[in-house]
Structure 1
């Protein structure tokens, strides 16, 4: 896993009374944040960029680690500025629809994701009261993809009805986004950081760059693997994987650890757009479904605290000329995380399995199966819960047998990690 020096550092700083969440943050998440921040700083400086934008929400923890290392009192980098700006797939993509001439062009720019048709309409800017006029059977329908959606006669008719409203809303949102960028002083040559995975936000920004007064964009990601080789993303780089290296990690991350993104996020809802409040442009945030002060929230904050404690402690204890300041090797810094994903201890399975994540307005446990007896009579529930889980831990908690769970998953999903 790690080398001897790093293992000794972790052992010295972790105490037996520290809970599993803090330990996981310190041992596994913290080193990954440290290594990625080192890589990010070197990449930005190498390309002569003076400002990096950490996109909400996934850029939150990386900005905190980055600032601890390079923009704190001791490591002040006066030539570089870091900013946390509100962003989301929806808030950047919807403004790009303003010049769409038809539904086919609209959904090329903003592909339909598998969700309820009513929710998809509201994401496009159709008023809730208008969506409510549709038959419930249509509102609740979930299409497989854009092609199936546009082929459905009733859905297509509703989309044509709401098309003018969608375009009008897109133009209004584009003006607000432009005002937000002007307010934050974002212009010229910029670098952005986001988790990934397909560079959707960067692609949306690029299509609006003239309106936003942006000359060029360099995207940096935890990992990026665009579905197609888009020229817009030609200079973008992924830390753990991209089109040029270690592509197998994309599938590995998708199959094994759905909680990954939430570890990076603050305790607030996603940005769904912008609005004017007095003389300021402020983000509109979705309702945050995780209950404030809940045990789940406390546990997640413990992971984040442990991770930042590692970044701060390790930076203070290694000398300025230490090779660790130049060690960009993502697989080295990710190896602690990878070990937990593949071969978690029983205590890690129990603790981390209780964490939850949010998807399309629902809360799911990372790995908290209902029990064999339940699934025997309700096999559909098993497949639903399994698909949304950290799969190795889910099976380990469900079956409670000493089986090679990761090897079975590796064979089934044809993983190469």
Structure 2
């Protein structure tokens, strides 16, 4: 038997404090509740004339004034008498405070466990608290937190005696007919729960409640308090990663989408494969607006890019369609035009290249042999493109992709939106496409040659704000991996046995010889946990009024991406990433000694890495400002 429990059970009666003992709050400070009350009140009163400001300070000062007037405990009604709003406003604010207090309270599991052990051992258990809230609200809070079976609730607001003066303890001893040594009190406050009862001869046990760092300006501490309480799978690294990091970002993104759709009066939304599948699942959980009709459109960069190449098959145009990376492999060029490099190996060798050849973007147009090779491919590129164009356009008609609608994807420069808009324009389908992405990168301009695009970014948006900061670039591979669908990428479109156009998929990257690889199950875990977070947080009423910013909801994922722990690197570094026909590890760092003797390999491997902060930390293995180092290297490259 636990030493503390054994000591407690020696007494005839066990008294438990409530707040920060049996019950804790999601908020870091009790007065943070007043911030939420103001937010809730103002959300119910749309015009600026009806809104209030500075309620927290007013509420704190009102309580101080009430306590100066009343010797022992005050009630919540007495407190609100000192707030100089109208009686109607005060009543509404008071009711919102009571409602919020109820919602932010959660059981302190370890102490509730101790409470239940005392009941199980037949002890008389009472609850003793200095609190201005009315008794019926306190009883509701206790019941809500699963705290039942106690014999008596001694509340200072009802009895008008407090623990801090000792009067409430004297009242309990008298009512329960106890000697001080027969009572043990458990609480967290030094004066009220330890020193005062000790002076009176009452035995005590102090508890220490672990609290997160207070960050009232960003609400990050509140978010993490909610996460820490709700998450049931902290022992599983990948589930916790999904719940703590992907879940909040995805949740905030979906609420942002819905707000924008309603603002723009959009009622037809297409989520792009593959990253859009987890987004659509989250959307279906959150969305309560029946006018918003969402669809899953099976498309990819390849399935939309290749069909329009015939319209402009120049190599310069192709460059605007490929990944914007500084290093471009020959494999990715073939993949970009929809051809298999293996089928053209003789042509590749004819021009002195091989399967591992690559070029730097800033000098690629000076590669005369590459230009000659590409020219030889152009007829095949055009023929294949026209063939795919017919089927792709038929698929779009089949999916009713027309008129005014939104497209949703991960980002980054609107390339797929451009290809789709171009295709619909060629075949004469009227369209107005509004693109919504987790981020719009600074290289979006490369997709503006075929006409203006309407782009909107959640985390960053260079299209609408030139001063934006690309927050995912140092760990883009890690970021994109979290959104990946558990199926292969869309290749093109074929007819099924019923002549219906369906997407033909590539083999799934994480399936080899019919066997699903470890990455499949990891991504599945991460995404499942992210959806669990969304389901859980949607059930918490007060959270709907908290103005979480994108930066706050991205903070936990950003911390992993920019400041990974050793465990983060151990669990994630070797994760394979597939892009433009190539395979990479998120971190492919060799030893420091290796790079000392092979410095050119360092540049190549760093450029290939899809998690550059992780690469640098794996390489140097020491405490260091890696993000600053990354920015220096990025500017030099």
Q: Shorter-normalised TM-score: what interval?
A: 0.7 to 0.9
If the length of structure 1 is used for normalisation, what is the TM-score?
0.85
Contact 1:300 1:355 in 2 (8 A): no
Give the Cα–Cα distance (whole angstroms) in 2 for the partners of residues 146 and 377 of structure 1: 27
Distance 2:483 2:563 in 1: 22
Flag the 1:108–1:228 CA change in 2: closer, same or farther, 3 A.
closer
SS in 2 for 1:283: strand
CA contact (8 A) 1:118 1:131 kept: no
| Bigger mean CA offset, 401-410 vs 189-198 | 401-410
Query: For residue 82 of structure 1, what is the aligned residue in structure 2?
Result: 294
Instruction: Assess, with a 3 A threshold, how the Cα gap between structure 1 residues 304 and 212 changes in structure 2: closer, same or farther.
Output: farther
How far is the alpha carbon of 1:246 from its aligned partner? 7.3
2:371 to 156, 173, 179: 156
Alpha-carbon deviation of 1:52?
0.8
Based on CA coordinates, which of the two structures has the bigger radius of gyration?
Answer: 2
User: Equivalent residue for 1:369?
Assistant: 589
Contact 2:458–2:550 (8 Å) recurs in 1 = yes
Report the 3-state secondary structure (helix = DSSP H, G, I; strand = E; otherwise coil) of the residue aligned with 2:622.
coil
Structure 2 counterpart of 1:144: 360
The whole-number CA distance in structure 1 between the counterparts of 2:354 and 2:605 is 24
Within 5 A, what are the aligned runs for 1:100-249?
100=312, 103=314, 107=318, 110=321, 115-117=328-330, 120-121=333-334, 123-126=336-339, 131-136=344-349, 137-138=352-353, 140=355, 141-145=357-361, 148-149=364-365, 151-210=366-425, 211=427, 213-225=429-441, 226-227=444-445, 230=448, 232-243=451-462, 244-245=464-465, 247-249=467-469
CA distance in 2, matches of 1:331, 1:400: 28
Q: 8 Å contact 1:121–1:131 — kept in the other structure?
A: no
C-alpha distance in 2 between matches for 1:386 and 1:105: 26
Within 1, Cα distance between the matches of 2:346 and 2:576?
34
Deviation track 1:82-130 (CA, whole Å, cap 9, x = no partner) reads 1111112221122222333x63675477469754446534642457686
Deviation at 1:11, TM superposition (A): 0.9
Do the aligned residues in 1 keep the contact of 2:269 with 2:294 (CA within 8 Å)? Answer: yes
Q: Distance in 1 between matches of 2:247 and 2:508?
A: 25
Asked whether the 8 Å contact 2:298–2:490 carries over to 1, the reply is yes
Give the alignment's TM-score, normalised by structure 2.
0.58
Q: Which moved more, 1:268-277 or 1:139-148?
A: 139-148
Shift of 1:247: 4.5
Greater relative CO, 1 or 2 (CA 8 Å, sep 6+): 1
C-alpha distance after superposition, 1:49-90 (max 9, x if no partner): 1111111112122111111111xxxx3x32111111111222
Change in 2 beyond 3 A, CA 1:17/1:134: same
Q: Is there any run of 5+ residues in structure 1 with no aligned partner, and where?
A: none
Distance 2:315 2:234 in 1: 58
- Greater mean deviation of Cα atoms: 130-139 or 259-268: 130-139
Aligned pair partner of 1:26 in 214, 223, 243: 243
Alpha-carbon spacing, 1:280–1:385, altered in 2? closer, same or farther (3 Å): same
Shift of 1:147: 7.0
Extract unaligned runs of 5+ from structure 2.
1-217
- CA change 1:92–1:214 in 2 (3 A) is farther
